[in-house]
């Protein structure tokens, strides 16, 4: 079994580093991080990237004029959408989160940093809730498709796993010591690297490379294909 490496930093040093990193975050970085979260979690699903760019353009045209901002918000409220109410609510919250982030940029441009941070913090809270709710909204929209998709994914996953099991069985035979594998631990140790290379080469996401030791040990004990290869290649006294 491979030796476990000690952590790079002590708990105290890790806490110091985290506090320093958070404390040095600039307003611009905080705003950019929030926009990054929105792009990653929202605009590739209920909304698309073009909507995002158009939304920001519309917001930036009104952040210096409260009357224009009020008109924009009124248009948002009056927009009719064919989507379900849950998705409509999510989109409305996304618009306001973007609005507060752009108001933060405007406040910073006017040297009003306290107001800028207030807008940013409020947007951050909204985005946290948006990300949490977006998963539920997406699941609701795709509920009818999930069963068939999961079935096909399961078939593909099973085929991928079978490829790895075949490779594990082949490696047990190909790499067995002269007198057979002395222990399962020894076999797992010698098969970890070639199996990791096989998974990466064949692009098999169904199995995590970091868990090779766990699932290979289970296969040696329980899987018909891999256990059969183990029984043929183990040392007579192997456990």
Q: Rounded to an integer, what distance in angstroms lies between the CA atom of residue 208 and that of residue 40?
A: 23
Q: What is the pLDDT of residues 84-103, one digit of tens each?
A: 777 788 888 999 999 999 99
**pLDDT at residue 166 is higher than 70:** yes
Quick one: pLDDT at residue 81? 65
| pLDDT at residue 89, rounded to an integer | 84
Give pLDDT, residue 90: 83
pLDDT per residue over 56-80, tens digit each? 999 999 999 999 999 999 999 888 6
112 CB-near residues (< 8 Å, 6+ apart): none
Given a cut of 60, whether residue 1 has pLDDT beyond it is: no
Q: Residue 154 — pLDDT band, cuts 50, 70, 90? A: low
Residue 201's CB is within 10 A of a number of other CB atoms, namely 8
pTM value?
A: 0.53
CA 131/CA 43 separation, integer angstroms: 11
Q: What is the pLDDT of residues 186-232, one digit of tens each?
A: 999 999 999 999 999 988 887 888 889 999 999 999 989 999 999 99
Q: Where are the domains of the chain?
A: 11-141, 145-233
């Amino acid at each position: 079994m491979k030796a476990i490496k000690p952590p790079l930093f002590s708990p105290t040093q890790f806490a110091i580093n985290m506090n320093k990193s958070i404390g040095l975050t600039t307003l611009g970085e905080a705003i950019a991080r929030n926009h990054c979260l929105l792009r990653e979690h929202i605009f590739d699903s209920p909304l698309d990237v073009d909507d995002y760019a158009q939304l920001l353009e519309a917001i930036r045209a009104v952040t210096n004029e409260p009357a224009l901002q009020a008109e924009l918000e009124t248009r948002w409220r009056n927009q009719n959408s064919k989507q379900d109410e849950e998705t409509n609510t999510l989109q409305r919250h996304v618009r306001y989160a973007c609005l507060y982030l752009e108001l933060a940029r405007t406040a910073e441009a006017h040297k009003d940093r306290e107001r800028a941070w207030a807008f940013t913090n409020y947007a951050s809270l909204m985005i946290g809730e948006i990300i949490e709710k977006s998963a539920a909204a997406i699941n609701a929209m795709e509920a009818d498709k999930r069963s068939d998709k999961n079935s096909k994914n399961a078939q593909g996953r099973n085929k991928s796993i079978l490829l790895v099991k075949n490779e594990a069985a082949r490696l047990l035979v190909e790499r067995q010591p002269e007198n057979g594998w002395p222990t399962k631990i020894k076999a797992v140790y010698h098969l970890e690297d070639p199996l990791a290379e096989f998974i990466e080469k064949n692009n098999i996401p169904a199995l995590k490379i970091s868990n090779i030791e766990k699932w290979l040990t289970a296969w040696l004990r329980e899987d018909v294909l891999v256990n059969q290869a183990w029984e043929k290649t183990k040392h007579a006294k192997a456990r």
